[in-house]
Amino acid sequence: MELNLLTIDAARSAIQERKTTSMALVESFYARIQKEDSAIGAYLTLTRERALEQADRIDRLAAEGKPLPPLGGVPVGIKDVMCTRGVRTTAGSKILENFIPPHDCTAVARLEAAGAVVLGKLNCDEFAMGSSNENSAFHPVRNPRDLSRVPGGSSGGSAAAVAADMAVVTLGSDTGGSIRQPASFCGVVGLMPTYGRVSRYGLIAFASSLDHIGPLAKNVKDTASVLRTIAGRDPMDSTSADVPVPDYVAEIDKPVSGLKIGMAEEYFGDGLDAEVRKAVEDAIQSLAKLGCDVVPVSLPHTEYAIPTYYIVATAEASSNLARFDGVRYGYRAKNARTLAEMYRRSRDEGFGAEVKRRIMLGTYALSAGYYDAYYLKAQKVRALLTQDFDGAFRKVDAIVTPTSPTAAFQLGEKANDPLAMYLADIYTVTADLAGIPGISIPCGQTREKLPADWLADSW
């Protein structure tokens, strides 16, 4: 039995039936991390003591013959934008390099309450701002499928850890595609839930009206198991939805025959790589053979999605990141002579180039004389994008599109071209703006053996 290849059900059953122990499973994953991660760079902090304590609790339950909790003994990794009590949480930034939170993110707490074993904190683009995981203040993450390529971002560490068998499942965050795009590049499943389905309490904020927490895994069932665990109302997050949480795992077994699948013409135009297009179109034909009805739909305001997103997201980032000023926590510049100098130098030395770029863009969009022309107009276009989906979902149950215009690109290929990097998010930002869920699922590979994925959005 290869422990690093186990799914959630297989790992839990093996521990319950005493074919292995949670302790052995954890040690197997740490051995894998030690062997592989020096080349990949997925982990920033390991939580061995915390993991072994949880593994011991699970093993005691199994030894006593008691049923294990739903994720009993399952090794998981956590993107380093989620607070973990007593464990360094950096958001991939120098400004939080030594930050130790006093509390757990709700999603992390729910995973551990369900028996999951947290192996460590995963690398990411600084403050979740990026599409390649090259913006981490510490080191980039490399794609396990091809170490010369990016794993996607900003949850690149989360996707890479699953793809490299260094965690069974992981948590990531998605503000404009940061779960789905790295899942696509690394060939794993990545789910962004509906806005409000999973509590954001304990998530270090990037753009509060766009941020989501969601799972990455090797298959859809494991993704559903994690979502079932972390979803639900949280009194600590006023935006979390107070609606019942269905049994997502049971829903998987329902037949797809009769479902109406939308195919949006705007997502299959210029700029889409021919091999990616073919893989996605073949996947859509597979759905048709299973009895789905493929229906053409139109999302006419898609061309405005990128500029709209990069106004709304940067404006909210400008506001949220104002708290990092060197006063209460985080990096503080030394030898500043005045308070104003301390603010300025702390932020200048603590933030990386991409974060500074987005703060400046957002501050400009919110500034006097420009608010109506940029931020207010972007919010109006956001409403139009949402209306596009409203209209489409009156006709179909889900919309299938490519996750990314291309497969994973080379490290450094777009690092000096921010606009090209931003345009890579064209197929993912729309769902964040509309607040709908999306899931990226592998559907093939290119001639270079790189994964190609399709993205399903639903209402």
Residues classed as catalytic: 79, 154, 178
Q: How far apart are CA 308 and CA 290, in angstroms?
A: 37
Residue 429 amino acid letter: V
- Residue 329, Cα to own-chain centre: how many angstroms? 26
> Does residue 353 come out as left (phi exceeding 0), alpha (psi in the -120 to 50 range) or beta?
alpha
Task: Report yes or no: 15 and 63 within 8 Å, Cβ to Cβ.
Answer: no
Which residues does 416 contact at the CB level (< 8 Å), separation at least 6? none
For residue 373, the 8-state DSSP code is I
445, two tokens? 């590979």
Element (H, E) at 439: strand 438-445
Measured CA to CA, the distance from residue 340 to residue 54 in angstroms comes to: 46
Residue showing tokens 């207010």: 376
Q: How far is CA 439 from CA 116, 177, 201, 274, 453, in A?
A: 22, 10, 22, 22, 10
Distance CA 385, CA 381 (A): 6
Nearest 5°: the CA angle 406, 216, 266 is: 35
Q: Which residues pair with 126 in a beta bridge?
A: none
